[in-house]
Structure 1
């Protein structure tokens, strides 16, 4: 959500930020509506003040036994009482209309975000790791996986397209990845582990920006709740409508959860394999911090996601997304893309974003700086640490052997009961 006062202060800068997103100018229409709203607020305040003034005058007239004047004043109060609901209704309607328009507009990119309309404008920040040289032709995970227990056919038979059933060692490897990732964050980096709700209310998905614009990308239950598309929704809303103490910040939450996405905006993309599923596991990181610490927190969060890829010895690169390729709520986003030798391509495996106060305004989450009475909005950040399914794909493709087996990375073996290699199922 945007601050209408900031738009009043510099409407040109606001429209310039939207233009970087490929959006049309909005400041003039927003400010015209805001002016009408402010007029309505003033009218309501003046009517209330006038009613209070008249009520006091009625008391004085009655004390002076001036009944005719008291009756005349009472008639004025009655007229104001009849008119006030319409004035207040107009104010509420204009405020709601303004909030609806503001809620539909994306966050403004940070100044260091590159220009660009789509992923072709993203900037390479750094590459890490070395691509493996295979003595055979590397295969895609959907060619290797079925023999290891990645059962696409049964998943589709049970649930339909974009669902996969994992069985045997590959199911255990998936579990090991999630436990390893979450364990690093909790045991080594100070994140508080959370087991959050997977079903949430409208207010939660509105707070993190999925509603109202992206409802078609979500699954909704028959009782009106939403399946979380990412644990970001549940974790960020932990602090919804709270005033935090500066000394409490930063708050860092982490969770390993199933995630559910309808993929309505990705029709026809990655219909084969395990890359783009309706249901998938992900380790999510969320930070709640002060504005002056949010950029450093963004770098820290991204580095923690990179640490998992380093530990797994997977080649990857960090990309700074351009203005046109960022998510709706993001102010700046780093994508980590892992090398998949079977596809001979880099594919996204983590996205780490700083949202500034954009989500905090939607959730009404503030903090009180030490020694001050006034409050300020917190900054929120979120990142994948990592997407478990895509990491599983990366391990399968990078650790594949010519005989169809897959070597288990060293760091995962304690989580695998010492198993060193996945062998094709008999």
Structure 2
């Protein structure tokens, strides 16, 4: 009898425990490989802003303004980092509604050492997303370089982060309404590049041209610095795009390959366009083509194959080259460092083409659930238009408000003297 009872218990107890064991098996567990990759990716994306973007932009301005650019990138990095932890991360990725996250994760409330986001620590996810929030307003700096007050830049960057970047980030990546609509943006075509590009165009128009533009030549003062910064951007972009897979897997591998091909194709296409039109290929042209290729492949990078990446890269080099020349030579818009024609136009192009080259027949991963190519392209265009409208309108209102409070531009005399001396009492070079 005792043996029979033991046999029954041996059968019944595992059956009773089965649901509990199944539930435990489904609970998320830490994946150390994915965590290691995301730690590296976070470092790579931060590396894109300081020193990458800082050096890239710093070399493009004139000698008297180089420190002002480095200072702006550095200050934005510090300010955004603190605001992100205080409450911006919660508004972007916390539990909320289709339009904005809640305040439940303010000051990283509920986020501890063992708290997971998927199978990686939420602290690592928050840090990774922080680096995106840092570089996006830093990109806009290139549009108003050499003429905006430092105080105005800080105010604009702060409120632009909260009123423009955070909502769009939530809409596209935080389970917001654009994500539910089916917009495909793997690493920031709308959230980063269209967003920053449109804000840059608005800023350039509101501030007006630099003294002497376009009659006076304003060549880069240190192309060596610019190329070094461009190389750092290229390497860092692997974390930007491949890191957005949030895992060390095949998607990250294909994303890295697509990113590299987009950069290479964009570089060579811009170089050949310049060679044909002006008779000589320039170093400035090839590195600008690289940035155009990277920005354009960004939204598509995790959804397309090598064929799509090559076509998108070539398209980026050609379209962004034409947009840059048209803005400067025909429209005479003084977007100092070509933020809109490179990032804005590239973001629009890449986000739209994602709806084409994500097709499985073209080597992609397929469209959002229930989508055909036509519906996906229309959905992509909707994401672009909504982002551009929101960024443009709010950026304009912010600039006008800040102008009324502290003023946007330095005086003509201070612009002539240079922002390094006037705003920071320093010079970039003592030769």
TM range (shorter): under 0.3
- The structure that is strand-richer by fraction is 1
Higher Cα Rg: structure 1 or 2? 1
TM superposition score normalised by structure 1? 0.26
TM superposition score normalised by structure 2? 0.25
